[in-house]
């Protein structure tokens, strides 16, 4: 962990103007500086930064704090991550406890720089990128590079005294019968960054006719393709401003869409959208547009994504590209207006799922029609009652049946045989499973949470509190997808559970006109202190209201 003394020294060293100028266009206004608020969107600046007090405040939406708080909120980082980011921006060396070893990222960062230099010298690669319509500005912006032969990469690492063990940990090299070898050979490289802006791996496209056209870094402790989105580090600022995120299938789609002005585009890494992506998508409370190819694989992937997103109450829809065109092709052929129109009017997730299911059956055959209805009714079970009601007539029209045949059910929250494992469900269920299997953590949790804080599995947590031998809990223990958290992971998940809960409670108390003013002030102070303590990981400091 970062030492407290080091954090205090950092706070005494940094200048809020230097930090915020990395994110905002600041204008001098008397003794202070002004900018348009990045948290609520405005045309007339009401976001004021005071160099003397080292704080900021928005007179439009009320946000405020110091430089570290700004980085936390803007980049959606935890308190320690924000400390490290501010230290990086300030060229400040943090100190850590003796038992803590900070990961050295120099091997992957240096190799990325090496690949970028090689690309500039490679005429074949540059001609290919030019043919695909990629500008030199985009090449620089997305840090595209070129991985040479295995021997050249290994030679570079050794000649520059870079740690080969770290290279293996990052999935850059490996060891075989003939010794060490590089994983990326004769490929255009696409650096992949984590949500907090740390380089963690690469994607690679062959230029030598290899049967595997695209590959990614292997699974490592830093690189999990089911959690990462290509281009998110570049798109993040725009996603939070526009509250829209376009999810595509390919690296070039992302690059070309950004080049055309669609700067919220990201891509999954050779895999379908998964439940592990949901926390990243939820951060900005954005409308999600799934933009996939019109081939069979693309349509199937769009259905899976729509199923997942609709069952987790995401707003947005699907855009399918036909005529063997993908987003990159449309940008290259200058169909920008058409793209814009498509993104403005995607097919809603529920509608897409209904159409996809119905399309798989011969609706002129009564037996087939019944099967389609059964599958749609099963899909409906995990939708909210309002969504079910809203699309009841659509199903009726699609299948040409009486609307009474469309079954409306209560939202399926829990099944003792098989739990509905959305990412949010997994997080809540994992807390319960951790407590079931690790009794010494009970004190950490039960002092800070209660059943009303659970959004999806409130009933299961209530069962846990009252009867730990209930069969429902055994069902949770048997689910392999539900993990047992370490103490560190548990505290992180508690933070994700508690912060929204206390923010909502704070809003309710603030708007409560019947509560005594003195009592309201006391509760507001406690809630704000609790939120700050949670973000700092200081669970022991949480106060009861």
Give me the mean pLDDT over the 46-57 stretch: 88
Average pLDDT taken over every residue of the chain: 87
Task: Give the DSSP letter string of 450-478.
Answer: -GGG-SS-HHHHHHHHH-TT-HHHHHHHT
Predicted pLDDT at 445: 76
Predicted pLDDT at 416: 36
Which of 313-327, 422-436, 501-515, 525-539 has the largest mean confidence?
A: 313-327
Q: Report the C-alpha gap between 441 and 439 in whole angstroms.
A: 5
Decide if pLDDT at 40 tops 80: no
Strand 316-321 relative to strand 287-293, pairing: parallel
pLDDT confidence bin for 477, thresholds 50/70/90: low
> What would the pLDDT profile of 324-380 be if each residue is shown by its tens digit?
788 999 999 999 999 999 999 999 999 999 999 999 999 999 999 999 999 999 999
- Is 346:289 a contact under the CB 8 Å cutoff? yes
> CA dist 397 to 43, 348, 353, 372, 519, Å?
45, 16, 15, 13, 55
C-alpha 49 chain-centroid distance:
29
Positive or negative torsion for Cα 114, 115, 116, 118: positive
Decide if pLDDT at 49 tops 60: yes
Q: Would residue 148 be called left, alpha or beta, if left means φ above 0 and alpha means ψ between -120 and 50 degrees?
A: beta
CB-based contacts of 431, cutoff 8 Å, min separation 6: 445, 461, 485, 490, 493, 494, 497
What SS3 class is residue 288? strand
Q: Report the C-alpha gap between 275 and 266 in whole angstroms.
A: 16
Decide if pLDDT at 157 tops 60: yes
Among 34-38, 68-72, 378-382, 405-409, the least confident range: 405-409
Which residue, chain included where needed, has tokens 């949770």?
Answer: 476
Give me the mean pLDDT over the 377-397 stretch: 91
pLDDT confidence bin for 444, thresholds 50/70/90: low
- State phi, psi for 29 to the nearest 5 degrees: -145, 90
Which of 203-217, 305-319, 473-487 has the largest mean confidence?
A: 305-319
> What would the pLDDT profile of 419-430 be if each residue is shown by its tens digit?
444 444 677 888
Predicted pLDDT at 390: 93
pLDDT confidence bin for 190, thresholds 50/70/90: very high
The pTM is what? 0.65
Question: Percent of the chain, pLDDT > 70?
Answer: 93
Predicted pLDDT at 53: 80
pLDDT top residue among 257 and 240: 257
Give me the mean pLDDT over the 507-529 stretch: 85
Give me the mean pLDDT over the 149-170 stretch: 95
Predicted pLDDT at 100: 58
pLDDT top residue among 330 and 447: 330
Which residue, chain included where needed, has tokens 């990469």?
Answer: 153
Predicted pLDDT at 481: 66
Q: Report the C-alpha gap between 418 and 473 in whole angstroms.
A: 12
> What would the pLDDT profile of 247-304 be if each residue is shown by its tens digit?
999 999 999 999 999 999 999 998 789 888 887 888 777 899 999 998 888 999 999 9
Predicted pLDDT at 472: 64
Give me the mean pLDDT over the 174-193 stretch: 94
């Amino acid at each position: 962990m970062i030492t407290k003394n080091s954090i205090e020294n950092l706070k005494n060293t940094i200048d809020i103007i230097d930090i915020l100028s990395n994110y905002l266009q600041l204008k001098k206004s008397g003794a202070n500086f002004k900018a348009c608020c990045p948290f609520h969107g405005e045309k007339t600046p009401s976001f004021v930064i005071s160099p003397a007090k080292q704080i900021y405040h928005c007179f439009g939406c009320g946000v405020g704090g110091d430089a570290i708080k700004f980085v936390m909120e803007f980049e959606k980082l935890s308190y320690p991550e924000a400390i490290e980011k501010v230290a990086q921006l300030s060229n400040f060396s943090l100190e850590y406890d003796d038992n803590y070893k900070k990961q050295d990222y120099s091997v992957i960062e240096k190799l990325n720089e090496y690949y970028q230099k090689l690309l500039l010298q490679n005429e074949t690669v540059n001609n290919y990128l030019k043919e695909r319509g990629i500008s030199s500005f985009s090449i620089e912006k997305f840090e595209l590079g070129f991985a040479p032969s295995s021997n050249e990469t290994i030679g570079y690492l050794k000649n520059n005294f870079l740690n080969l063990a770290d290279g293996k940990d990052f999935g850059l090299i490996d060891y075989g019968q003939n010794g060490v070898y590089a994983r990326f050979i004769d490929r255009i490289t696409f650096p992949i960054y984590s949500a907090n802006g740390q380089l963690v791996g690469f994607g690679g496209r062959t230029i030598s006719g290899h049967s595997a056209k695209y590959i990614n870094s292997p699974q490592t402790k830093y690189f999990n393709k089911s959690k990462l989105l290509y281009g998110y580090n570049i798109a993040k600022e725009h996603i939070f401003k526009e509250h829209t995120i376009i999810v595509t299938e390919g690296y070039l789609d992302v690059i070309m869409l950004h080049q055309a002005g669609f700067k919220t585009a990201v891509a999954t890494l050779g895999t379908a959208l998964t439940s592990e992506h949901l926390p990243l998508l939820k951060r900005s409370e954005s409308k999600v547009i799934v933009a996939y190819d019109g081939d069979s694989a693309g349509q199937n992937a769009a259905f899976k994504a729509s199923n997942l997103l609709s069952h987790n109450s995401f707003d947005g829809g699907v855009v399918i590209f036909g005529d063997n065109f993908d987003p990159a092709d449309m940008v290259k052929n200058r169909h920008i207006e058409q793209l814009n129109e498509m993104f403005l009017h995607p097919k809603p997730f529920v509608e897409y799922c209904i159409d996809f299911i119905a399309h798989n059956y011969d609706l002129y055959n009564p037996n087939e029609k019944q099967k389609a209805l059964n599958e749609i009714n099963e899909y409906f079970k995990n939708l909210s009652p309002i969504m079910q009601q809203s699309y009841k007539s659509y199903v009726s029209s699609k299948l040409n049946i009486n609307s009474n045949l469309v079954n409306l059910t209560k939202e399926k929250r829990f099944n003792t045989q098989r739990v509905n494992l959305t990412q949010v469900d997994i997080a809540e269920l994992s807390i319960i499973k951790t407590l079931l299997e690790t009794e010494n953590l009970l004190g950490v949790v039960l002092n800070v949470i209660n059943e009303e804080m659970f959004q999806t599995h409130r009933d299961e947590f209530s069962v846990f509190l009252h009867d730990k031998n209930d069969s429902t809990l055994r069902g949770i223990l048997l689910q392999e997808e539900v993990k047992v958290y370490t103490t560190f992971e548990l505290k992180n998940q508690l933070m994700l559970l508690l912060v929204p809960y206390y923010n909502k409670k704070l809003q309710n108390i603030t708007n409560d006109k019947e509560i005594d003013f003195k009592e309201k002030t006391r509760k507001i102070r406690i809630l704000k202190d609790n939120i700050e303590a949670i973000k700092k990981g200081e669970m022991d400091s949480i106060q009861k209201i």
